[in-house]
Amino acid sequence: MAPHFGYIRVSSTDQNSDRQLEGLDLEEIFIDKVSAMTRDRPGLQQCLRHLRKGDTLHLHSIDRLARNLFDLQKIVSDLTEKGVAIHFHKETLIFTGQDNAMQKLQLQMMGAFAEFERSLIRERQREGIEAARARGKHLGRHAILDQEQQVQILKKRKSGVTPTALAKEYKVSRATIYNVIKKSL
């Protein structure tokens, strides 16, 4: 029986990858917790180096491998030319490298949909940020130190207290102290 491997990708470290490839008997699973917008993913690179002729790579869905058509086609082409079969479970598609016009069409269509979906997500995100700014909403992390604390830090710093001591006293990083100082200049 040919070796079967898996590749799992989630976009962030707090996302759960358990549901992907659940119940499959795989020899090894390679995992990334990063965006698919880059091919520079340690788990993917390790997986690509590991696969050999006759292996099968299992993925939950096409968008777990790539979010743009060019990268998707390149990765699938490189693997199938090497003799690796690729099984996308959600789409129930298997690519073996055989010259099959229908497989090529399906891959391109599904890849184009994944890329389109990513573009829509980014567009909605940008619109949401612009709308929030227009309503005067504060975006990003809230300030750790209030205005009064910042004034106290500046006074103490002028009297010679070190940034390290201030960071300990206010239970913040030195970078936060330096940012308060920099903001006052």
Q: How far apart are CA 60 and CA 37, in angstroms?
A: 17
**Structure token digits, residue 132:** 């929030």
Q: Which residue has the higher pLDDT, 133 or 67?
A: 133
pLDDT tens by residue, 3-46: 999 999 988 766 767 778 888 889 999 999 887 677 678 999 99
Q: Is the pLDDT of residue 99 over 80?
A: no
Active-site residue flag, 12: no
Question: 11, 17, 61, 77: which is the annotated catalytic residue?
Answer: 11
**In terms of Cα–Cα distance, which of 54, 65, 2 is closest to 30?**
65
pTM for the full predicted model: 0.66
Alpha helices in 10-161 (DSSP H): 42-50, 62-65, 69-81, 101-134, 147-158
Residue 80 contacts residue 97 (beta carbons within 8 Å): yes
pLDDT value at residue 110: 83
Cα angle 84, 86, 87 (rounded to 5 degrees) comes to 145
Say how many C-beta atoms besides its own lie within 10 A of residue 184's C-beta.
12
Please give the radius of gyration of the chain, using alpha carbons only, rounded to the nearest integer. 24
3-state secondary structure of 33: strand
Average pLDDT for residues 154-177, to the nearest whole number? 93
* pLDDT given at position 71: 87
What is the band of 50 on the pLDDT scale with cuts at 50, 70, 90?
very high
Instruction: Give per-residue pLDDT as tens, 110-158.
Output: 888 888 888 888 899 899 989 988 898 878 778 889 999 999 999 999 9
Check whether 178 has a pLDDT greater than 80: yes
Segment 155-184 shows an average pLDDT of: 92
Distance CA 159, CA 151 (A): 13
Report the pLDDT averaged over residues 99-119.
83
The C-alpha atoms of residue 178 and residue 185 are separated, in whole angstroms, by: 11
Average pLDDT over residues 150-177: 93
Q: How many CA atoms lie within 13 A of 77 on its CB side?
A: 8
- Residue 149 CA to residue 127 CA, distance in Å, equals 35
Task: Return the structure tokens found at 33.
Answer: 């917790």
pLDDT in the model for residue 55: 96
Beta bridge partners of 7: 30, 59
